[in-house]
Amino acid sequence: MHYVERMRAIRRFTVRPVLPEPIAALGVLAGNLRWSWHPATQDVFAEVSPEAWAATHDPVHVLGSASRERLDALAADDGFRQRLGDAAASLDRYLADDRWYQRQQHDGPRAIAYFSPEFGITAVLPQYSGGLGILAGDHLKAASDLGAPIVGVGLLYRHGYFAQSLSREGWQQEGYPLLDPDELPITALREADGSLATISIGQPGDRDLVARIWVARVGRVPLLMLDTDVEGAPDHHVAVTDRLYGGNSEHRLRQELLLGVGGVRALRAWSRITGAVEPEVYHTNEGHAGFQGIERIRELTASGLSFDAALEVCRASTVFTTHTPVPAGIDRFPRSLIEQYFAEGAATPGVPLDRVLAFGAESYAGGDPGVFNMAVLGFRLAQRANGVSQLHGHVSREMFHGLWPAFDEAEVPITSITNGVHAPTWVAREFQELVAELGADADGDPAAFQAAIEAAPFGRVWELKHALRERLVDDARARLRASWRGRGAADAELGWIDDALDPDVLTIGFARRVPSYKRLTLMLRDPERLKRLLLDPERPVQLVIAGKAHPADDGGKKLIQELVRFADDPEVRHRIVFLPNYDIAMALPLYPGCDVWLNNPLRPYEACGTSGMKAALNGGLNLSILDGWWDEWFDGDNGWAIPSADGVDDADKRDDLEATALYDLIEREIAPRFYDAGADGVPVRWLEMMRHTFVSLAPKVLATRMVRDYVRLLYSPAAASARGLDATAATDLAAWKARIAAGWPGVRVEHVESDGAGDAAEVGAVLSVRAFVALGALSPDDVAVQLVSGRPVGDDEIADPQLAPLDVVETYEGGRYCVAGSIPLDRSGAFGYTVRVVPAGAHLASVAELGLVATA
């Protein structure tokens, strides 16, 4: 592994600005990341130093670079003090007011811990690589806006992910600038005596891994970030939090141990020091944080519970979200590494190694016995789990069906909550102001929002969109110039950049990470055809493209190079640009500046995708494969669907078909509509489509909708389950499950009889069913006997089955029962039914939970 060479100062410290008392509130505002979605607070910092603000958008930097004289002048400026006072009062109210969560009748959790390997909150805290991190950041922000009591748990990476630049030849270069925590908007968690709060984790044959805890304030939400760069730590310990998604398997495992096990210990330190209530629910955002469950089982067994009772408590209070159907996106460790790190006395003392190993074992058809799978661990340690769009929920149920093989895919206990985006962060300020002027906001009453959008004059919206396109063009030119200088070009060669891109031309954006399934270069499938689209004399289009390839992914870097080479061509370089170093800072002007947002993944590998939602909220029209969220919410009029050639096995053929469809849509539908303007220059049909996009998508794609869904569908039920499991109930539940599993071989449906519906049943008839079941050592209270009915498909499946209970009508010797019930036949057509027995108990969240079923 290589680390950047660094000249280590023998001692370092940061000179913190001393703010004159009248403007001390600047420090408070800089210390809470709410400024990143609050324009009035941003204006205050811009006033401190317009130049420093324009260059960095970083309040800590702005304050650090302001001169004594400047600060004194501001302290004496009544107008400034007034604006500062308003911003500070707004933050105070924001932090103290009752919000949606406080106004609910529900019995939601008192606190929720949200674990994620990455958090993308603002460009000045670069602790993310892509969608997963941005989503986590938006989740915290929306939770804060709603007053949901979340505490985030993550790591602080000294180099973040990486900074991308290009070589002369267009090959991706990675840089790892060192982040100085003193220059970041975070503070150290300290004990009452002022010493640093730390946690430690036992390591096999090594000293304990020690980490300190940083705290970022995301509005009302604290985010705890663990950092192994502590005084006296050996280099290989300091390296654990060096960078996001870098290093080999062992490095990754150490990071995940720190995030999961260390994260729980950090939460305990946080509560001990600040008095914060302990979380009732633990949400693991993707498999990386799965070890949190093992640490909680350790705690619970240390407090006297049996292992199995502790497991029940852990499961009841844990929510697991899976984020990718791409096999390479799932963490799988060599089993031997887990054996090493969870050996007795290591990370979680007292937790038996064989139980840990069993949690991550791929013990299903096609599984690899040498592997420990973090997604599988996530499902086994969480009673509730979800995917991140309806389609992804479906794909996940198929993908992880092996964990519940006795059940049909539809009953695999993985639900879905579709991702959303944080509008106050992502919607251009001008759009927010326009909507506010019309008396609404995207997060408020949907009907008022719709009315405001419908009242917005087209001419005004079009003018605004032009201004946003101009802003993007300016930003892109500056980035292009910097990139070309880095690639070794002299200024004299760069005159063309002054005319690169055009604020009057139809602008298509494409920016995302560069794993192969996202197909960065699909647009290059027919380079001549793309050129004709770009250079069309009447209806040209321009493309703004960005994205990072993982440092170890040479395939991805080749795709970037291919694209950069195409874009370097003097014939087209004014119409297609690749901008290096896609990050939040670039994304903020990019989405509003685009007319069309392109996404062409290989269906169904895009679990959700969120960039298209951000574009839509800024009046961008989506042009996308029907994958992820777009599969769910495309309605035929709010953008365009690129037909997917899913069924075509030949990958080249599939790419050809989909690329052709993409060119056709741009040429025949998109460009003609965009350029079809009246005498006033306003393309009415385009604006109608924009308006429809706002109205149809705005309420759905919001992160506040997503967080409300999590509260309602997962967090509150998890809290209720957890509250129902005190030590006695948990012990009873564990014993009950063991008894059910032991007795299940004796459970059978022996015989089924029916009447009222022969071969000639008519709609309106009643089907009465009697069944004889053997329960062996189990009692009728342990199970539910169900009549499963519906339309038969294939050999032995019933589509969308209806369930009706069958009740005991007679009891016989030897644990045998007769059960009976009836259902009306209210639909014509083919009909099939069967009878099954499943475990049933108050503490189960799904019939499939134990994986046990006995069918006729």
Does position 624 interact with ligand PLP (CB under 6 A)? The reply is no
Q: 458-486 and 584-593 helices cross at what angle (nearest 10)? A: 140
Q: Which residues contact 757 (CB under 8 A, 6 or more apart)?
A: 765, 766, 767, 825
Burial of residue 26, with CB atoms counted within 10 A of its CB: 0-12 exposed, 13-18 middle, 19 or more buried? buried
Q: How far is CA 460 from CA 463, 604, 681, 690, in A?
A: 5, 39, 12, 13
In angstroms, what is the minimal distance from the CB of 582 to ligand PLP? 6
Binding window for ligand PLP (CB under 6 A); candidates: 129-137, 619-627, 658-666, 727-735:
129-137
User: Could you give the CA distance from residue 94 to residue 88 in angstroms, rounded to a whole number?
Assistant: 10
* Cβ 196 vs Cβ 212: under 8 Å: yes
Q: Which helix or strand (DSSP H or E) is residue 166 part of?
A: strand 163-166
Looking at beta carbons only, is 160 or 609 nearer to ligand PLP? Answer: 609
Binding mask 73-112 for ligand PLP (x = CB under 6 A): ----------------------------------------
* Cβ 746 vs Cβ 776: under 8 Å: yes
Contacts (CB under 6 A) with ligand PLP, residues 556-595: 582-584, 587
Binding window for ligand PLP (CB under 6 A); candidates: 128-136, 320-328, 766-774, 822-830:
128-136
In angstroms, what is the minimal distance from the CB of 131 to ligand PLP? 3
The only residue of 109, 202, 360, 609 in contact with ligand PLP, by rule CB under 6 A? 609
Does position 131 interact with ligand PLP (CB under 6 A)? The reply is yes
* Cβ 788 vs Cβ 841: under 8 Å: no
In angstroms, what is the minimal distance from the CB of 620 to ligand PLP? 12
Q: How many CB atoms lie within 10 A of CB 39?
A: 12
Q: Which residues pair with 752 in a beta bridge?
A: 771
Does position 291 interact with ligand PLP (CB under 6 A)? The reply is no
Looking at beta carbons only, is 388 or 784 nearer to ligand PLP? Answer: 388
Does position 614 interact with ligand PLP (CB under 6 A)? The reply is yes
Q: Which residues contact 486 (CB under 8 A, 6 or more apart)?
A: 165, 166
Looking at beta carbons only, is 134 or 560 nearer to ligand PLP? Answer: 134
The only residue of 134, 385, 435, 476 in contact with ligand PLP, by rule CB under 6 A? 134
Does position 617 interact with ligand PLP (CB under 6 A)? The reply is no
In angstroms, what is the minimal distance from the CB of 618 to ligand PLP? 12
Q: How many CB atoms lie within 10 A of CB 538?
A: 7
In angstroms, what is the minimal distance from the CB of 403 to ligand PLP? 26
Q: Which helix or strand (DSSP H or E) is residue 95 part of?
A: helix 78-96
Looking at beta carbons only, is 424 or 609 nearer to ligand PLP? Answer: 609
Looking at beta carbons only, is 49 or 610 nearer to ligand PLP? Answer: 610
Does position 286 interact with ligand PLP (CB under 6 A)? The reply is no
Does position 550 interact with ligand PLP (CB under 6 A)? The reply is no
Binding window for ligand PLP (CB under 6 A); candidates: 190-198, 396-404, 603-611, 686-694:
603-611
User: Could you give the CA distance from residue 517 to residue 494 in angstroms, rounded to a whole number?
Assistant: 34
In angstroms, what is the minimal distance from the CB of 606 to ligand PLP? 7
Contacts (CB under 6 A) with ligand PLP, residues 498-527: 512
Q: Which helix or strand (DSSP H or E) is residue 632 part of?
A: helix 628-633
Q: How far is CA 699 from CA 30, 236, 389, 463, 714, in A?
A: 31, 48, 16, 24, 20
Q: How far is CA 605 from CA 327, 343, 395, 563, 662, in A?
A: 10, 36, 9, 22, 19
User: Could you give the CA distance from residue 232 to residue 242 in angstroms, rounded to a whole number?
Assistant: 16
In angstroms, what is the minimal distance from the CB of 512 to ligand PLP? 4
Binding window for ligand PLP (CB under 6 A); candidates: 188-196, 566-574, 605-613, 787-795:
605-613
Binding window for ligand PLP (CB under 6 A); candidates: 238-246, 324-332, 604-612, 751-759:
604-612
Does position 325 interact with ligand PLP (CB under 6 A)? The reply is no
* Cβ 176 vs Cβ 159: under 8 Å: yes
Q: Which residues pair with 321 in a beta bridge?
A: 285, 386
Report helix, strand or coil for 460: helix
Report helix, strand or coil for 713: helix
**How many residues sit in the footprint of ligand PLP (CB under 6 A)?**
12
The only residue of 317, 383, 610, 696 in contact with ligand PLP, by rule CB under 6 A? 610
In angstroms, what is the minimal distance from the CB of 387 to ligand PLP? 14
Does position 185 interact with ligand PLP (CB under 6 A)? The reply is no
Does position 625 interact with ligand PLP (CB under 6 A)? The reply is no
Looking at beta carbons only, is 322 or 611 nearer to ligand PLP? Answer: 611
Binding window for ligand PLP (CB under 6 A); candidates: 214-222, 287-295, 607-615, 633-641:
607-615
In angstroms, what is the minimal distance from the CB of 545 to ligand PLP? 13
In angstroms, what is the minimal distance from the CB of 614 to ligand PLP? 6
Q: E strands, 219-266, where?
A: 221-227
Tokens of 787: 């009549």
Contact positions vs ligand PLP (CB under 6 A): 130-131, 134, 512, 582-584, 587, 609-611, 614
